[in-house]
Structure 1
């Protein structure tokens, strides 16, 4: 009987230890509920102030929520626009200098996160929302633990069409065709503000996606 009790206690201890380890890693989300018609619009990097302003205007006019994962250069070089993002949408952390977090030291990642948070608070007047997207979508368990220490939820995506590679070579039709083909219930859509075609196609994309029965929602609903 003692052996049985010890075995049960050992199993419980192992289970608890496993959960403790898992709890130190942040949540990684690449889509929402596939049974729900909600979809989630996200934009990466910044870089183009003109496109970002146009996108914000369209989102405001169409009442669509979105999350902007911007890097520190855009944040500090465009303080008024960055504040507008934080006031109207969700401004989120994409590292300060758009680095592959798997190739930097733990301390450098901490510095990148903290520097972005400090600058965002200084510029927008409010703490940054604890949403993070790793540049290039690259991460590992070690870096996830650091992100967890900072309180971040990691958001990836399930809809993309390599707009940052093609830039504007493919045009508006390419953007619309890919969005219509790839988007499904729960999709997190990745677009880049650098690409003119994204800004030019956005209003029509919103109209078409809504016509298919999708409802635009905030990433806030996934945490």
Structure 2
């Protein structure tokens, strides 16, 4: 549950929307850090503080050598996840929908996204868990182990600089591509890899046939207890559409119609 901010507007929505617009504007080059610094902290306790460069404990046991496609739960709950790397388009609509409906979610940021959009990254991190999505979004199987390690650590540093604390110990491979050695390396770096049950494919844009209807249909076909739903911030370059942002309210309604609730990916960390 997310804490509700107290402000002079009553329920806080007009001020919150103005703040979101400012933060998305910051992603395009405007400065919104003064506003962001007044944002309320989320209700969840943040992760334990680590000093920069201090290694995370390696992932071992039942959670090692796995790239989770769904949460190991039996409750009828789904986890909404958002990859942040292509741009900030759609961020205002997505964050407004999640906040207005008091829904949990998890965001995976590239280090480049966090560095380019620090005010927006901090705003997101004050409300939702943030995971590591590499620094520059390369295909991990095609690069060297040294480069993979650099991608993970550089992203960790950039995210921590942007949001003021370490990310969660969650990692999502770019494009979902990985090999067993890739997973082993990420585990050794202290991260639990998380894939997805269903990709809404909103990133294809309207030019690629994506729509609210296709986003909803793809998700409902794959819905199961613990389902992890992949969506994206950013717009499709060819037509500038942000289908996931547009489709999110209808998708939430459709999932609820199936009598499902929502959760974050923190359960993977708690169960380690």
Report the TM range for the smaller structure's normalisation. 0.7 to 0.9
Structure 1 residue 111: Cα displacement: 0.9
Other-structure match for 1:59: 98
Structure 1 residue 50: Cα displacement: 3.1
Moved over 6 A (4+): 21-24
CA-atom RMSD, angstroms?
Answer: 2.0
Structure 1 residue 192: Cα displacement: 1.6
C-alpha separation in 1, matches of 2:232 and 2:63:
31
Answer 1 or 2: which has greater helix percent.
1
CA deviation vs aligned residue, 1:76-132 (integer Å, no higher than 9, x gap): 111100111111111111110001111111111111111111111111111111100
1:202 maps to 2:248:
yes
Contact 1:34 1:184 (C-alpha < 8 Å) held by counterparts: no
1:152 maps to 2:198:
no
Other-structure match for 2:231: 191
- Larger-gyration structure (1/2): 1
Other-structure match for 1:47: 86
C-alpha separation in 2, matches of 1:120 and 1:62:
26
Other-structure match for 2:262: 216
| Larger RCO (alpha carbons 8 Å, 6+ apart) | 1
C-alpha separation in 2, matches of 1:178 and 1:25:
29
| Change beyond 3 A, Cα 1:109–1:138 | same
TM superposition score normalised by structure 1 = 0.83
TM superposition score normalised by structure 2 = 0.69
Other-structure match for 1:38: 77
Other-structure match for 1:96: 135
Give structure 2 stretches of 5+ with no counterpart: 1-59, 236-241
| Change beyond 3 A, Cα 1:81–1:152 | same
Give structure 1 stretches of 5+ with no counterpart: 1-20
Other-structure match for 1:167: 205
Structure 1 residue 39: Cα displacement: 0.8
C-alpha separation in 2, matches of 1:121 and 1:77:
13
How many aligned residue pairs are there? 202
C-alpha separation in 1, matches of 2:63 and 2:246:
42
Structure 1 residue 25: Cα displacement: 4.5
Counting only pairs closer than 5 Å after superposition, residues 11-22 of structure 1 correspond to structure 2 as: none
Other-structure match for 1:16: none
Other-structure match for 2:163: 124
Instruction: Tell me the SS of whatever aligns to 2:80.
Output: strand
Structure 1 residue 204: Cα displacement: 1.9
